[in-house]
Amino acid sequence: MSSKFVLWFAPQTCARVTLTALEEIGEPFETRLIAFMAGEHRQPEFLSVNPSGKVPALETADGVIVQNGAILSYLADSYPEAGLLPRPRDAAGRARILAELFRCSSDLHPLVTRFVMAPMISTEAEDAPRIRARAVEGLAQQLAPLESRLSEQPWMLGQNWSILDAYLAWIWFRITGVGFRQADHPALQRHYAKASKRPSAIAALQHEERAQDELKARGLFFQPPMPGKT
């Protein structure tokens, strides 16, 4: 069976959310691994796919789609039966769903980058603690309403899972993996544990594990250090 999609990705990045979405859809797809430590994101082969040099990038019959939020919206519209996102008929309802998607991609995601990759944000090493501290403040503010919401309902949008839950689970994975306090957010912890048990999430992690094994074999696997460690 020929693949309908080709996903350019790297393990542990937000491409995990797109992997999860593709697994939910059930259409055949291929993956192309980008080794950032080898500079493959700056090579002509990948820049011809996504000039921004970022993952994920999804090759489709309609052309290449980039930016995670755009990819998820495209897949949700193309495969409504998969239930990736609700599809309200009115403009205001659609805008509210997009706002939730942008909450993940535009509000939380940049803070994740600053928290996880603080030493790479500035060329001055002494700036990293300050960058990380400000990111912690921002994350606490942004996660507070989600903690409250998930203490009252099982999923981001209510009783039914959506791809937003996969996005939030990835965010939680990234920040707690480098020291963000979990104890302050019990509802988010429960949400992550539940989202991680979904078959599509397990399958996405299997794709990542194979990619990580390849990167390790090439000496190119990068694990962000815990704060205070080198």
Tell the burial category of 83 from Cβ atoms under 10 Å away from its Cβ (0-12, 13-18, 19+). Answer: middle
**What pLDDT, on the 0 to 100 scale, is given for residue 225?**
67
Q: In the chain, which stretches have pLDDT less than 50?
A: 1, 229-230
CATH of 91-198, one of 3.10.129.10, 1.20.1050.10, 3.40.50.1110, 1.10.940.10: 1.20.1050.10
**What pLDDT, on the 0 to 100 scale, is given for residue 230?**
36
**What fold does the segment set 5-83+200-217 form as a domain?**
Glutaredoxin (3.40.30)
**What pLDDT, on the 0 to 100 scale, is given for residue 72?**
98
**What pLDDT, on the 0 to 100 scale, is given for residue 122?**
84
**What pLDDT, on the 0 to 100 scale, is given for residue 163?**
98
Q: Rounded to an integer, what distance in angstroms lies between the CA atom of residue 46 and that of residue 57? A: 9
pTM: 0.94
DSSP 30: E
Q: Where are the alpha helices (DSSP H) in the chain?
A: 15-25, 44-47, 68-78, 91-102, 109-116, 118-121, 128-150, 163-176, 186-196, 199-217
**What pLDDT, on the 0 to 100 scale, is given for residue 42?**
96
| Domain range list for the chain | 5-83+200-217, 91-198
**What pLDDT, on the 0 to 100 scale, is given for residue 123?**
81
